[in-house]
Structure 1
Amino acid sequence: MNKKFIILSIIMLMPLCLTQDISVEQLLAHNKWSSQNQRVYLNDDEKLYRQTVFFDNLQKIKEHNSNPNKTYSVRLNQFSDMTREEFVEKILMKQDLIDNYMKGNGQYNNANNESQMNSQNHTLAASIDWRKKGAVTSVKNQGGCGSCWAFSAAGLMESFNFIQNKTLIDLSEQQLVDCVIPANGYPSRGCDGGWPANCLDYASKVGITTFDKYPYYSHQYNCTVNVKDTNNGFKLKKWIVIPNTSNDLKSALNFSPVSVRIDASSWGNYDSGIFNGCNQSQISLNHAVLAIGYDEKDNWIVKNSWGPAWGENGYMRLAPNNTCGILSSNVQITA
């Protein structure tokens, strides 16, 4: 980085340094982070506010990582100039959509949904990771659109397609964002949030095309899918709801990855390790990811959609049992 630019940045931020007891080390950290994340703000007031939020998050990260009792580490990333409340509002699903779901307005109501499956009477593997089997596509980035539900569902279909047809292709999240909508009979709302189960029902009827034919734009547009294109994509036949127990999720993961809904309110700055930082007494299922396995200690392995720079190359390890509500709302393709 240009040395003159660094010095100039420090000089410009010295008033902030003096009024808020900010160190040169913190200023350099902000300058480096801002350059890496290509931050551009509307005006000086917003820039000053975002710097203040950044320094607060930087201090929290330092305190967290210095605590030897923590089982996971945190770090700076693309969300580090957001407060936790802003992160929840901008990146996760909208609360009113979640509230309607909890009232029953978004419950599964799909013709191709089978009855819930009980735990299978077969020996479970000590650990499983579908990445090692070549069944998981690369980590994507949903951007500023709350389309996690589409990424979770597309990832599920990509993996099942590989298991069934031995071909790994990227499917179109944008098609799901644009087409799994109220006008087509689904309560999902594009960048405000939605339900992976709606995607599965839609794909069982229409099919889903490939990413290259219908690429992702991080916004919701009109549904423009050409049904002929879905012939080269994927069309599922059946799917199930997984019962809410650890054994049932482990059993399902021995068959294929699983689309899961969780509370990601405290996930923003996750870096690595076994995450157990959710408030288990107040779970809001505001995010969807793809569970792709578990390790020898029963920690869940999940694929996120915030890009490979987040977490463990785009993945997270969650503590066992119902951490962050991972057992609450899960679906899997069976045919």
Structure 2
Amino acid sequence: MILLSIIVLMPLCFAQDISIEKLLAYNKWSSQHQRVYLNEDEKLFRQMVFFENLQKIKEHNSNPNNTYSIHLNQFSDMTKQEFAEKILMKQNIVDHLMKGISQEATHNDTNNKETQLNSKSLILADSIDWREQGAITTVKNQGNCGSCWSFSAAALMESFNFIQNNTLVDFSEQQLVDCVIPANGYYSYGCSGGAAVYCLDYASKVGITTLDKYPYVRIQKNCNVTGTNNGYKPKQWIKVPNTSNDLKSALNFSPVSVVVDATNWDNYESGIFNGCDQSNISLNHAVLAIGYDQQGNWIIKNSWSHYWGENGFMRLAANNTCGILSNNLQITA
């Protein structure tokens, strides 16, 4: 099959200066990711995109000054624009959310001043990683749906439930995608984007059920929950102040839901990521901060499967890299 593909595409290779090595890499990758396209035109287009991404990967990884490596993954036949449209939250939705989120994010804040101050007064650990405490569930895969906000919120509740009740349970992201909607009074829009804070408000009133009872299907459907006693209910939460020390303090208490600019995260493999355009931050992706290392680099749990990054996790450079300090949320009770 590989040999036949090479023969068929040989004229194209000569025209585009594509090597046999690149064709072999494409065939191996497409087999691993079970790529099926609508027609030959789309297939050829995807191959050209793949070859361009492959070249960028080789150039990046050959530079010894880079602090992180990149590699082929499920996004390698997508353009940057397609990656943003299919995987990240829509920018107009995020902008709308950011304008109205401040009041909701500090909901119950008056009840949490003592907790917040206590967390600030902690002697900070040199490093912390909540995976070592058993407080982090397995990495999920949001698929081609900008539902990262529901994964960030569910992961936040999963971790705090473990810390509070010593039980690690996978919660239903699909329930949040289907039910945290404008019709129910929440400004979140399924695969187009949303906010973790609305998930907490919803779950505090209705409860969030388990993943096995309400599985994730990668599209938004009708809400399939009734009543107000559907499982775990967070009681209180706070917005973490926008400094590195405040985020570190919060992480000594529990994981934190954060919003970042993930525009250039698509092909990250390992190392300390510092590849965001710090002069033009566009918040478009929600993840879970689960700790930091001795150098102050943040440890991130993502929702792009365990094949992405460091088994689904990332180390993000210290300080406000990719806007990580912009909008942080923590459960306190």
Aligned pair 1:177/2:172, yes or no? no
Partner of 1:6: 2
SS in 2 for 1:271: strand
- Do 1:260 and 1:290's aligned partners in 2 also have CA atoms closer than 8 Å? yes
Partner of 2:138: 138
Partners of 1:111 and 1:323 in 2: how far apart? 24
* 1:12-35 residue CA offsets vs partner (Å, 9 max, x unmatched): 211221110000000000000001
Q: CA deviation at 1:86?
A: 1.2
Partners of 1:239 and 1:109 in 2: how far apart? 10
Q: 1:90 to 1:108 in 2, by over 3 A?
A: farther
Q: Which amino acid aligns with 2:306?
A: P
Aligned pair 1:286/2:281, yes or no? no
TM-score by length of 1: 0.95
Aligned pair 1:109/2:104, yes or no? yes
Q: 1:112 to 1:204 in 2, by over 3 A?
A: farther
Partners of 2:303 and 2:248 in 1: how far apart? 22
Q: 1:46 to 1:107 in 2, by over 3 A?
A: farther
Q: CA deviation at 1:45?
A: 1.2
SS in 1 for 2:11: helix
| Structure 2: gaps of 5 or more residues | none
Which of 57, 78, 99 pairs up with 2:53?
57
Q: 1:72 to 1:110 in 2, by over 3 A?
A: closer
* 1:253-287 residue CA offsets vs partner (Å, 9 max, x unmatched): 00000000000000000000000000001111100
Partners of 1:314 and 1:75 in 2: how far apart? 13
Q: Which amino acid aligns with 1:324?
A: C
What are the residue-to-residue correspondences of 1:114-129 with 2, within 5 Å? 114=109, 117=116, 120-129=120-129
Aligned alpha-carbon RMSD (Å): 1.4
TM-score by length of 2: 0.96
Which of 239, 248, 259 pairs up with 1:241?
239
Q: Which amino acid aligns with 1:141?
A: N
* 1:275-330 residue CA offsets vs partner (Å, 9 max, x unmatched): 00000011111000000000111100000000000000000000000000000000
Partners of 1:92 and 1:260 in 2: how far apart? 14
- Do 1:112 and 1:237's aligned partners in 2 also have CA atoms closer than 8 Å? no
Q: 1:98 to 1:161 in 2, by over 3 A?
A: same
Partner of 1:268: 266
- Do 2:106 and 2:237's aligned partners in 1 also have CA atoms closer than 8 Å? no
Q: CA deviation at 1:92?
A: 0.1
SS in 1 for 2:120: coil
Partner of 2:163: 163
Q: CA deviation at 1:229?
A: 6.4
* 1:130-183 residue CA offsets vs partner (Å, 9 max, x unmatched): 000000000000001110000000000000000000000000000000000000
Which of 72, 84, 100 pairs up with 2:96?
100
| Structure 1: gaps of 5 or more residues | none
Structure 1, 194-203 or 221-230: larger mean CA deviation:
221-230
- Do 1:111 and 1:201's aligned partners in 2 also have CA atoms closer than 8 Å? no
* 1:221-272 residue CA offsets vs partner (Å, 9 max, x unmatched): 0001144762xx3111000000000000000000000000000000000000
Partners of 2:105 and 2:260 in 1: how far apart? 21
SS in 1 for 2:131: coil
Partners of 1:106 and 1:186 in 2: how far apart? 11
Partner of 1:332: 330
Aligned pair 1:153/2:153, yes or no? yes
Q: Which amino acid aligns with 2:109?
A: E
Q: CA deviation at 1:36?
A: 0.6
Partners of 1:169 and 1:178 in 2: how far apart? 20
Partners of 1:197 and 1:13 in 2: how far apart? 50
Q: CA deviation at 1:98?
A: 1.7
Partner of 1:197: 197
- Do 1:270 and 1:310's aligned partners in 2 also have CA atoms closer than 8 Å? yes
Partner of 2:11: 15
SS in 2 for 1:327: coil
User: How many pairs are equivalent?
Assistant: 328
Partners of 2:271 and 2:106 in 1: how far apart? 40
Partners of 2:96 and 2:143 in 1: how far apart? 25
Q: CA deviation at 1:107?
A: 4.0
- Do 1:209 and 1:229's aligned partners in 2 also have CA atoms closer than 8 Å? no
